[in-house]
């Protein structure tokens, strides 16, 4: 599970460059930092109240928050959309919109909250957002609507994100709107987002992304809640993926539609949660003579956790699943029947140290037994988790990991298992300037055939909010892809800058 030496050196070099530039900016802010209290949190102290040690760094920092209170939005700022309740690293086979740093902080915090805990954000955690242009939104009765628009230009030395790709410039537009309720009981959250990265010389490399997610939480009692979640995404497949069937022109589109109904109940110190979920994947575009990949997965899960209010809370989770492909293999001996039945089990810990350290991690095993005897079971270890660590009042680190099992139509393959993890660090230089560094790694193994794909990424960005509604954005990203399929390896560097407007 290691990148080849040449690509590893390239990734390290890109990461070192990113770190060097950010540290350079950090040194320029020393004068500001000398007048600011950057006291480290006593992260392992058990005597202090975890919610009592957060203070604004200076009177200047307090002014924007006082302004928000005067505008009557203090409560809405604490309530984050329930639609952001689950964020995972981006899968390797396609490009999706990366979750904002604040979304990752909220997602990790939600994992360890008790039944009926609501959507209140942790006041003691720096969420990676600039203060001056912190979104306020528009009040629509008991709902709050928050729009945003990003637009910018960029350049990359590998527009195709593939072996032999050529450089190209691009423009990018990202528009989003979210709606969240402000009710005493129950909660609803919706988010719609669309983005387009359009290249000047080769439009076949354009990257459109559309996503939508929603959540309805019903408080059925003091200890019982019901959740209804729905997600949708549209994107294009990676040109370097072993499953890419488009030999020329645009790569295939990928649509994912999912829904889940779950019920949670607190019984003394035991928290119980059960639910049913459906996830469907549909591919469109150029198709080869191989079997279609469109499939639907239905699962039932049950989880029990020991919730006694301690810092560490163990949990056990398990369930069953059914995967059905759209194509029927009856009467065709050349067809691989990949319909499957399976199970998964997982054990882990919730960690809750208030604003200092919060999150969850788990490890387990999953198996899918395919109907076709010629194909081996799709099985392997699983891990997932998300953590937020806030060592100081101006610094936050997020860690995230996930495992996914995916169907395929590659000859002789049962499917693929993707392991993904990333780390992001955000620092507040001033209330109007925020920087972050990101590092990520993914490893995909196809079961039944000898194909392994790996990808390492590193990036850094700076945001300067120059008014209450607008900010300048900039980011550099380096990517290294490694596969044992011939002529698939590549590296790419990307630089982009733009304007963000939000209200």
415-444 pLDDT, tens per residue? 999 999 999 999 999 999 999 999 999 999
Tokens of 407: 């169907």
User: Residue 61's domain is classified under what CATH number?
Assistant: 2.40.170
pTM exceeding 0.85: no
From the list 323, 213, 207, 219, the residue with the least C-alpha distance to 258 is: 213
Within 8 A by CB and 6+ apart from 131, the residues are: 61, 64, 65, 431, 432, 465
DSSP string, 328-358: --TT-TTS----EEEEEEEEEEEEE-TTSEE
326-364 pLDDT, tens per residue? 988 877 788 889 999 999 999 999 998 877 888 999 999
Tokens of 282: 């549909």
| Contact predicate 299/274, CB 8 Å | no
Spatial distance between the Cα atoms of 232 and 4, rounded to a whole number of angstroms: 35
In the predicted model, is pLDDT for residue 272 greater than 80?
Answer: yes
Q: What is the mean pLDDT of the chain?
A: 81
At residue 281, the pLDDT reads 95
Total domains, the chain? 1
| Contact predicate 354/380, CB 8 Å | no
At residue 34, the pLDDT reads 37
**H or E stretch at 18:** helix 5-28
Question: Percent of the chain, pLDDT > 70?
Answer: 75
At residue 76, the pLDDT reads 38
Spatial distance between the Cα atoms of 305 and 98, rounded to a whole number of angstroms: 30
180-236 pLDDT, tens per residue? 999 989 999 999 999 999 999 999 999 999 999 999 999 998 899 999 999 999 999
At residue 27, the pLDDT reads 42
Spatial distance between the Cα atoms of 316 and 332, rounded to a whole number of angstroms: 42
34-52 pLDDT, tens per residue? 334 444 444 333 333 333 3
At residue 37, the pLDDT reads 42
At residue 189, the pLDDT reads 95
Q: Give the pLDDT band of residue 123 (cuts 50, 70, 90).
A: low
Tokens of 4: 């080849």
Looking at per-residue confidence, does 314 or 125 come out higher?
314
- Segment 131-140 mean pLDDT: 90
Tokens of 235: 């994107």
At residue 111, the pLDDT reads 57
- Segment 105-122 mean pLDDT: 53
| Contact predicate 445/438, CB 8 Å | no
At residue 128, the pLDDT reads 87
298-320 pLDDT, tens per residue? 999 999 998 877 788 999 999 99
Query: Quick one: residue 77, left, alpha or beta (phi over 0 = left, psi -120 to 50 = alpha)?
Result: alpha
Spatial distance between the Cα atoms of 354 and 51, rounded to a whole number of angstroms: 6
In the predicted model, is pLDDT for residue 18 greater than 70?
Answer: no
365-417 pLDDT, tens per residue? 999 999 999 999 999 999 999 999 988 889 999 999 999 999 998 989 999 99
Which of 4-18, 23-37, 109-123, 261-275 is modeled with the greatest confidence?
A: 261-275
Tokens of 13: 């070099």
Tokens of 493: 């560097």
Q: What residues make up the domain containing 229?
A: 5-501
Q: Give the pLDDT band of residue 79 (cuts 50, 70, 90).
A: very low
Looking at per-residue confidence, does 22 or 481 come out higher?
481
Query: Quick one: residue 229, left, alpha or beta (phi over 0 = left, psi -120 to 50 = alpha)?
Result: beta
Range from 18-27, 315-324, 475-484, 493-502 carrying the lowest mean pLDDT: 18-27
At residue 87, the pLDDT reads 42
In the predicted model, is pLDDT for residue 84 greater than 90?
Answer: no
């Amino acid at each position: 599970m290691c990148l080849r030496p040449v690509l590893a050196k390239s990734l390290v070099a890109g990461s070192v460059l990113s770190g060097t530039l950010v540290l350079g900016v950090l040194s320029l802010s020393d004068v500001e930092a000398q007048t600011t209290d950057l006291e480290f949190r006593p992260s392992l102290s058990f005597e202090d109240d975890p919610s009592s040690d957060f203070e604004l760094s200076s009177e200047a920092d307090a002014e924007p928050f006082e302004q928000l209170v005067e505008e009557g939005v203090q409560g809405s700022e604490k309530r984050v959309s329930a639609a952001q309740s689950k964020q995972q690293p981006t899968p390797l086979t396609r490009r999706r919109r990366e979750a904002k740093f604040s979304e990752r902080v909220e997602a990790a915090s939600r994992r360890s909250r008790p039944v009926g805990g609501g959507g209140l954000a942790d006041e003691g955690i720096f969420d990676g957002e600039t203060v001056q242009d912190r979104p306020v939104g528009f009040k629509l009765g008991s709902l709050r609507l928050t729009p945003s628009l990003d637009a910018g230009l960029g350049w990359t030395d590998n527009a195709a994100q593939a072996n032999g790709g050529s450089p190209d410039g691009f423009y990018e537009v990202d528009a989003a709107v979210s709606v969240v309720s402000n009710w005493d009981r129950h909660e609803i959250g919706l988010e719609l987002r669309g983005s387009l990265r359009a290249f000047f010389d080769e439009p076949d490399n354009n990257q459109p992304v559309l996503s939508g997610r929603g959540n309805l939480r019903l408080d059925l009692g003091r200890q019982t809640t019901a959740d209804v979640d729905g997600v949708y995404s549209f994107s294009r497949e990676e040109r370097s993926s072993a499953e890419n069937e488009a030999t020329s022109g645009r790569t295939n589109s990928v649509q994912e539609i999912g829904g889940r109904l779950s019920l949670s109940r607190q019984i003394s110190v035991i928290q119980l949660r059960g639910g049913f979920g459906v996830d469907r994947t549909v591919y469109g575009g150029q198709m080869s003579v191989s079997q279609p990949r469109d499939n639907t997965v239905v699962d039932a899960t049950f989880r029990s956790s020991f919730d006694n209010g301690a810092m560490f809370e163990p949990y056990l989770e398990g369930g069953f699943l059914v995967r059905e492909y759209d194509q029927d293999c009856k009467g065709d001996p050349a067809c691989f029947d990949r319909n499957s039945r399976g199970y998964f089990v997982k054990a882990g810990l919730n960690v809750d140290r208030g604003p200092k350290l919060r999150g969850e991690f788990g490890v387990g095993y999953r198996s899918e037994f395919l109907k076709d005897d010629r194909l081996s079971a799709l099985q392997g270890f699983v891990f997932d988790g998300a953590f937020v660590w806030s060592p100081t009042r101006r610094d936050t680190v997020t860690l995230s990991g996930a495992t996914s099992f995916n169907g395929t139509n590659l000859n002789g393959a049962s499917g693929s298992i993707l392991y993904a993890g990333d780390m992001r660090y955000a620092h507040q230089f001033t209330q109007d300037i925020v920087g972050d560094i990101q590092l990520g790694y993914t490893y995909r193994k196809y079961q039944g055939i000898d194909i392994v794909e790996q990808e390492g990424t590193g990036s850094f960005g700076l945001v300067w909010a120059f008014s209450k509604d607008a900010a300048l954005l900039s980011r550099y990203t380096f990517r290294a892809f490694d596969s044992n399929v011939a002529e698939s390896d590549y590296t790419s560097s990307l630089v982009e800058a733009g304007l963000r407007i939000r209200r």
